[in-house]
Structure 1
Amino acid sequence: MLVLSNVHAFYGNIQALKGISLEIKEKEIVTLIGSNGAGKTTTLKTIAGLLRPKTGSIQFNGEEIGNKSAPEIVKLGISLSPEGRQVFPRMTVLENLEMGAFSRKDKAEMNGSFERIYALFPRLYERKHQAAGTLSGGEQQMLAIGRALMSKPKLLMLDEPSLGLAPLLVETIFQLIREINEQGTTILLIEQNARMALMIAHRCYVLETGKIVLADDAKHLLESDAVKKAYLGE
């Protein structure tokens, strides 16, 4: 579904990605783990068209997307729920969700998406006329994921969905991620809680300073002594 081949990306003169190659297959959950500054968020931004790769190839369903704009990439079926939620605080929950559907024209299909979002996140239905800035952190995270789903993505990218949430809410968010995947959406996940990420993912890539240093089934990495020591606090 998604293939990155030898992708290099820069912020000005600073090289953030140093030859990233990875593959995501349809209906998988793939997680990227690594310390702060390893290049995880940069990888998502580069896939989403928010940062152009300097060299290398990014292909989505056989089509090169490394040269496409962010709106074009959304229309092709890739959506990003960014780190820090970044909801529109003065707009209502409903208006935020509508913003996620900017690329869609079919009203009947959109209504179906609203129903799906409200079924996944009943709290958003209860709060749909409330300003997003007045929601709790957990509710804002649900809204950020719901907004990303409104574009009906084939690939949903989640950047730190559990950041700053209470432990009970973290479990809820991960259950919802699994449910979204079981409904047929492929997921690329960045998550500071590496243990939780590895528990729900099918495969994992480990990044260090802009390079992939490990790639394996998530179950194997969960049992790896090196990964336990470096990323699971054991």
Structure 2
Amino acid sequence: MLKMQNIHTYYDNIHALKGINLNINKGEIVTLIGSNGAGKTTTLGTITGLLKPKEGKILYNDEDITCVQPGHIVKKGISLSPEGREVFPQLTVFDNLKLGAYTRSDKKEIDQSYEMVYELFPRLFERKTQIAKTLSGGEQQMLAIGRALMSKPEILLLDEPSLGLSPNLVLLIFELIKDINKLGMTILLVEQNAKMALKVADRGYVLETGKIIIEGNAKELLNDDRVKQAYLGNL
């Protein structure tokens, strides 16, 4: 469904991604784990067209999208919930969600997406007229994911969805990720919480200084001594 082939991405003279090869199949949850600065967010930025690779190719449903502009990437069915939530702070919950559907025109289908989001996140329905900046951190994360879902994506990219949340909210967010996947959504999950990410994922990739160093079945990676030592600690 989505393939990155030998992707090299730079920030000015910094070689951030060094020959990334990544494959996501329809219906999967795939996780990308690694420490700060490993290149996880850069990978998502490259997929979404915010960054252009200097080398390599990105295929989505066998179409080359390497040089496609970000707005057209969204229209094609790839949506990002960014790190740090990045909700529109002065707008209401409803208006944030409405902006997520900016590429769509069918009102009936958009209304169905509102219903889906409110069913997944009842708290957003309760607070739909509330200004986004007044929401709790967990509610803002729900809003960021909900907004990404409003574009009706085939692939949902999640960048550090558990960052800064309390342990109870982390558990809730990961349960919601599984619920979204059960609706038929393919998910690429970028996470520093490697243990939780690998528990919900089908497959995983470990990124280190811009290179994929380990890949495989998520449950096998949970028991891989290299992954345990580097990312799981004594958990």
Quick check: TM above 0.5?
yes
SS at 1:95 equivalent: helix
Q: CA deviation at 1:226?
A: 1.1
Q: CA deviation at 1:102?
A: 0.4
Q: Which residue of 2 aligns with 1:129?
A: 129
Q: CA deviation at 1:141?
A: 0.1
Q: Which residue of 1 aligns with 2:34?
A: 34
Q: Which residue of 2 aligns with 1:61?
A: 61
Q: Tell me the distance in 1 between the aligned counterparts of 2:181 and 2:121.
A: 15
For 2:217, the aligned partner's letter is: D
Q: CA deviation at 1:232?
A: 0.4
Q: Which residue of 1 aligns with 2:120?
A: 120
Q: CA deviation at 1:34?
A: 0.7
Q: CA deviation at 1:225?
A: 1.2
For 1:27, the aligned partner's letter is: G
SS at 1:36 equivalent: coil
2:11 is equivalent to residue 11 of structure 1: yes
Q: CA deviation at 1:109?
A: 0.2
Q: CA deviation at 1:192?
A: 1.2
Q: Tell me the distance in 1 between the aligned counterparts of 2:33 and 2:117.
A: 27
For 1:140, the aligned partner's letter is: Q
Q: CA deviation at 1:233?
A: 1.1
SS at 2:165 equivalent: coil
2:196 is equivalent to residue 203 of structure 1: no
Residues 144-179 of structure 1: CA deviation (Å, up to 9, x unaligned): 000000000000000000000000010000000000
SS at 1:21 equivalent: strand
Q: Tell me the distance in 1 between the aligned counterparts of 2:168 and 2:126.
A: 20
Unpaired runs of at least 5, structure 2: none
Which consecutive aligned stretches of 4+ in structure 1 deviate over 2 angstroms post-superposition?
none
Q: CA deviation at 1:12?
A: 0.7
Unpaired runs of at least 5, structure 1: none
For 2:141, the aligned partner's letter is: Q
TM-score (normalised: structure 1):
0.99
Q: Which residue of 2 aligns with 1:88?
A: 88
Q: Tell me the distance in 2 between the aligned counterparts of 1:222 and 1:199.
A: 8
1:52-201 alignment runs, 5 A limit: 52-201=52-201
For 2:188, the aligned partner's letter is: L
Q: Tell me the distance in 2 between the aligned counterparts of 1:104 and 1:226.
A: 45
SS at 1:189 equivalent: strand
Q: Tell me the distance in 2 between the aligned counterparts of 1:13 and 1:229.
A: 32
Q: CA deviation at 1:30?
A: 0.2
Q: CA deviation at 1:50?
A: 0.5
SS at 1:226 equivalent: helix
Q: Which residue of 2 aligns with 1:20?
A: 20
Residues 183-223 of structure 1: CA deviation (Å, up to 9, x unaligned): 00000001111000000000000001000000100000001
TM-score (normalised: structure 2):
0.99
Residues 82-115 of structure 1: CA deviation (Å, up to 9, x unaligned): 0000000000000000010000000000000000
Identity of aligned residues (%): 65
Q: Tell me the distance in 1 between the aligned counterparts of 2:212 and 2:36.
A: 14
SS at 2:213 equivalent: strand
